[in-house]
Amino acid sequence: MRKEEINQSLTEEQLISRKEALKRAGLMMGGFVFAPALTGILNGCTPQAGEWTPVIFDADQAATLKAIVDTIFPETDTPSASQVGIPGYIDELLSRNSSKDDQEAFIAELTAFINQSAADLEGPFAAADVDTQYDYLMEIHKTSVGQGETLKDTSIPGFFMKVKWMTVVGYFTSEPGATQVLRYAPIPGPYRGCVPFEEVGRTWAT
Amino acid sequence: MNINGQAKQDMTYDAIVVGSGISGGWSAKELTERGLKTLVLERGRNVEHVKDYPTMNLDPWELPPNDDIPYEDRKHYEKQMRTGYTIKESTKHWWVKDTDQPYEEKERFDWIRGYHVGGRSIMWGRFSLRLSQMDFEANLKDGHGVDWPIRYDDIAPWYSYVEKFAGISGQAEGLPQLPDSEFLPPMELSCVEKELKKTMMEKFGRVLTNPRMANLTVPHNGRGQCMTRNLCSRGCPYGAYFSSNAATLPAAAATGNLTLRPHSIVHSLEYDDSTGKVSGVNVIDELTGEMLTFHSKIVFLNASTVGTAMILMNSTSDRFPNGLGNDSDQLGRNVMDHHFLAGADGVVEGFEDKYDWGRRPQSYCIPRFRNVGDDKRDYVRGFGYQGGSGRQGWGRAIAELAMGQDLKDFAAKPGPWSIGMLGFGEILPYEDNRVTLNRDKLDKWGLPTAVFDVKIRDNEYKMRKDMANDAAEMLEAMGAKNVTPYDRPYGPGLGIHEMGTARMGRDPKTSVLNKWNQIHEVPNVFITDGSCMTSSGCQNPSLTYMALSARAANYAADQLEKGELS
């Protein structure tokens, strides 16, 4: 590393904190680790279950988004993505916590998905049955998986990964996701560095 | 008695402490416990322990995702956000707004700070390491900077003194380059950290030790033990880590000798030519804008490294036209920090039947091994590592080719163990790494603003190569996979260990402070925050500020009892 690099203008993505670096160094405490390019996207709000009045989405866009996130996390013995408030979470993180440019880019990508899927499925994605929705998204997923860089990508696979990423983060930082699917200990008590896995049983939420 | 006389009496104390952070809290505790009526001036708002920690108990779903602030608020924190971790919805109230507190950078300098009672003792990293005899001798031996006027033996009893009160957990190792503290029981290492520790000793003869930190592993002096929530920087409901608010300020208040005055921005110190001492502290009341002058026999400057230097520079007189105590022209020079963001990480296989319990709030510690004993490098001084480990979490679910129940099941299983370490390196004291005042650009209280011209140089760049390569070598030696060394851009100040602007020294011609942290030419002014540091070592500095504060305060009290200084 040379002086020129230090003095270059800094974007937030380039700045990795001590804590973040430690977290990345050790992927500490079962938390999550994002590629730096993604950190700017996650600017959102608390998922609110129940009624959602979209702020930046029209009715078609809202219905499509709900269908996508519920395909990623449908209701099983634990709640679905929409049951824990993920559509509202995505709306809020774009409307309240992101730049206008990011909002508009996302809407454009969502619109492209709506048009392409309607052409491919000969009808709206949101109106398709759940198996069709699953198969359609899984085909997209297969072309994008494992490539963090696709999150910068404005193509449909890139768009899907963005939605998946927001859905996963929102879901596991919601109370049902953290406590029913994962394990959450608000007050762990004394630290123990090496316990049998069975004692915890599931991934720590934090 | 006339009204003016009464008013002056009301504004007169035995001692004034400027600043209530980690060093000011200690100055206040010691001075009040020695029976001195003490005024603590804090430029920001009051913060009462527990009562004023609004976010301390919030769960993730009670906060915005990633705990981030609204987009439109980011413009207020462009520099404070450079750390990536300071400006969060749960902690932003501890940090200044850059739009309120502007400064100028000739080269990038990250001046990350908070103005409130307790200062950064609320948000500090809590890593607590002693300097060693090696560190106190380093400048003399290799010729960088000036010689420290003290040696390890001068400060060792005061390390013990502050540690017994503050509560430092850790494991004794008997190393000369990183002396042991008065330890509370250590917090455990994880399974993979224990494995790395073994490898390091067997293959390299190097030590890995438990975190050395101001987190209590047992109840201590009326404060509770750490519950490993790892939410320290929001303020701790148990008082389980050391802060001014939880520990020193309550002790000072208990003496009945403490007056704490928040919203008090120190403008300057008034020098009295007839006595050769400072006679008053000029304060702007943050709320009313009124200028007040407080008087005392002695003044402790604990306004933080940059804040203290700025106050002295703004305290000009016929005797000190370039700033109080600045005959040497060293005031504002030799700005140091610890350079970091170089290290390595990797993945460890074979411990899939193990997990950890709790969120340990600090890293394991690898004491310095470079340029120690017979080891000789192409740079001087050295670095230590802080590191962490843990099983990869649910974030893995994003890239996993799965949806539905499969994806929930995948997320509920933790991934392999990862382990990493991050070097913290010494920065040499360069005279032209300096902070100066811009008298043409004033802040909203009419005070001059800071200009930074600080950069790291060849010695630090050479050291960074080892910081990355040594880490990778040790991780590979333990059999870690996907070992990735890194050396990421670091800006001075990012370590939030800024220090050195009013250094201690033996010669008044080349230093600002003497061996008791007194300004050479103005004996009733003591400076025990980071500005006093003659070299930086590679150890996190707060513990040293605590020890120097307690030492100087007791010296000052001794002198007053002997009839000196007053």
| Per-residue model confidence (pLDDT) at position A150 | 56
Domain enclosing residue B560, as ranges: 13-123+242-336+428-456+497-566
Task: For residue A188, give how far its alpha carbon lies from the nearest alpha carbon of chain B (Å).
Answer: 5
Rounded to a whole number, what is the distance in Å from the CA of A32 to chain B's nearest CA?
4
Residues B331 and B432 in one domain: yes
Q: Beta strands B417-426 and B518-519: pairing type? A: unpaired
Q: Which two tokens stand for residue B441?
A: 């650009």
Pair of tokens at residue B401: 């080719």
Is B51 part of any domain?
Answer: yes
Whole-angstrom distance, CA of residue B87 vs CA of residue B81: 6
Coil/strand/helix, residue A113: helix
Confidence of residue B8 (pLDDT cuts 50, 70, 90): confident
CA dihedral B493, B495, B497, B500 (to 10 degrees): -40
Interface test mutation site (partner B, options A11, A27, A131, max chain B beta carbons within 10 A):
A27
Q: Are residues B342 and B417 in the same domain?
A: yes
pLDDT tens digits for range B318-368: 999 999 999 999 999 999 999 999 999 999 999 999 999 999 999 999 999
d(CA B232, CA B236): 6
State the amino acid at position B531 in one-letter form: S
Q: How far is CA A2 from CA A5, B389, B456, B460, B462, in A?
A: 6, 29, 10, 11, 11
CB B520 within 8 A of CB B514: yes
Spatial contact of B333 and B434, defined as CB atoms under 8 Å apart: yes
Q: What is the mean pLDDT of residues B466-476?
A: 98
Same domain, B404 and B514: no
Residue B164 maps to a domain? no
Q: Which ipTM was obtained for this model?
A: 0.94
State whether B522 and B502 are in the same domain.
yes
- In a shared domain, residues B324 and B358: no
The pLDDT score that the predictor gives to residue A19 is 38
For residue A77 the two structure tokens come to: 């013995």
Strand runs labelled E in chain A = 192-196
Q: Residues A49-62: what's their mean pLDDT?
A: 87
Q: What is the 3 state secondary structure string of B475-537? A: HHHCCCEEEEEEECCCCCCCCCCCECCCCECCCCCCCCECCCCEECCEEEEEECCHHHCCCCC
- Does residue B138 form part of some domain? no
Rg (C-alpha) for chain A, rounded Å, is: 19
Q: How do residues B195-249 score in pLDDT, each as one tens digit? A: 999 999 999 999 999 999 999 999 999 999 999 999 999 999 999 999 999 999 9
| Residue A12, pLDDT score | 34
Q: What is the pLDDT of residues B256-272, one digit of tens each?
A: 999 999 999 999 999 99
Give yes or no for residue A7 having a pLDDT over 70. Answer: no
Residue with tokens 């929001």: B234
B480 in Cβ contact with B463 (< 8 Å):
no
* CB B341 within 8 Å of CB B426: no
B351 and B303 in a single domain? The answer is no
> Does B162 reside within a domain?
no
Task: Please write down the HEC assignment for all residues of B266-279.
Answer: EEEEEEECCCCEEE
Query: What is the per-residue pLDDT for A149?
Result: 55
- Nearest chain A alpha carbon to B57: A186
CA distance B126 to B132: 19
Structure tokens at A186: 């608000």
Helix axis angle, A86-95 to A100-121, nearest 10°: 140
Domain count of the fold of chain B: 2
CA B417/CA B394 separation, integer angstroms:
13
Query: pLDDT digit string (tens) for B49-96?
Result: 999 999 999 999 999 877 889 999 999 999 999 999 999 999 999 999
Specify the pLDDT at position A35.
30
Task: Determine whether the interchain pair A47/B61 forms a contact, defined as Cβ–Cβ distance below 8 Å.
Answer: yes
Same domain, B474 and B508: no
Ranking A7-21, A72-86, B24-38, B89-103 by mean pLDDT, the lowest is A7-21
Query: B55 in a domain, yes or no?
Result: yes
Same domain, B402 and B475: yes
* CA separation, residue A97 to residues A94, B94, B337 (Å): 6, 21, 33
Task: Verify that B475 and B558 share a domain, yes or no.
Answer: no
Q: Looking at the domain assignment, is residue B542 inside a domain? A: yes
Contact B71/A97, CB-based, under 8 Å?
yes
The CATH number assigned to the domain holding B251 equals 3.50.50.60
Q: Is there a domain that residue B146 lies in?
A: no
Measured between CA atoms, how close is B396 to chain A, in angstroms?
7
Residue that is last in its domain, among B473, B490, B507:
B490
> What is residue A181's DSSP assignment?
I
Whole-angstrom Cα distance, residue B224 to residue B466?
A: 40
Residue A43 in this model has a pLDDT that exceeds 80: no
Interface test mutation site (partner B, options A161, A191, A204, max chain B beta carbons within 10 A): A191
Q: Between vectors from CA B522 to CA B333 and to CA B336, what angle results, nearest 5°?
A: 20
Least confident segment among A147-151, B15-19, B46-50, B303-307: A147-151
The pLDDT of residue B6: 59
**B240 within 8 A of A202, measured Cβ to Cβ:** no
Of the residues B471, B490, B509, which one is the last residue of a structural domain?
Answer: B490
Give yes or no: residues B273 and B249 share one domain: yes
Contact B85 A18 (CB under 8 A): yes
**DSSP assignment string, B311-378:** HHHT---SS-TTSTT-TTS-TT-S-B-EEEEEEEEEEE-S-TTEEEES--SS-EEE---TTSTT---S
Which residues partner with B278 through β-bridges? B271
Whether residues A194 and B356 touch (CB distance < 8 A) is answered with yes
Confidence grade of residue A47 (pLDDT, cut at 50, 70, 90): very low
Residue B1 forms contact with A (CB below 8 Å): no
In a domain? residue B5: no
Closest among B280, B212, B217, B191 to B11, alpha carbons compared? B280
Q: A113-157, pLDDT tens digit by residue?
A: 999 999 999 999 999 999 999 999 999 999 886 555 556 678 999
Percent of chain B with pLDDT over 90: 97
Overall average pLDDT of the B24-50 stretch = 98
| pLDDT value of position B5 | 59
Question: Same domain for B352 and B477?
Answer: yes
How much is the pLDDT for B64? 87
Q: Find which of A4, A22, A55 to mutate to test the B interface (most B CBs within 10 Å of its CB).
A: A22
Same domain, yes or no: B439 and B534: yes
Residues of A in contact with B217 (CB under 8 A): 190
H or E stretch covering B297: strand B291-301
Q: What is the mean pLDDT of residues B136-156?
A: 98
Phi and psi at residue A201, in whole multiples of 5°? 90, -35
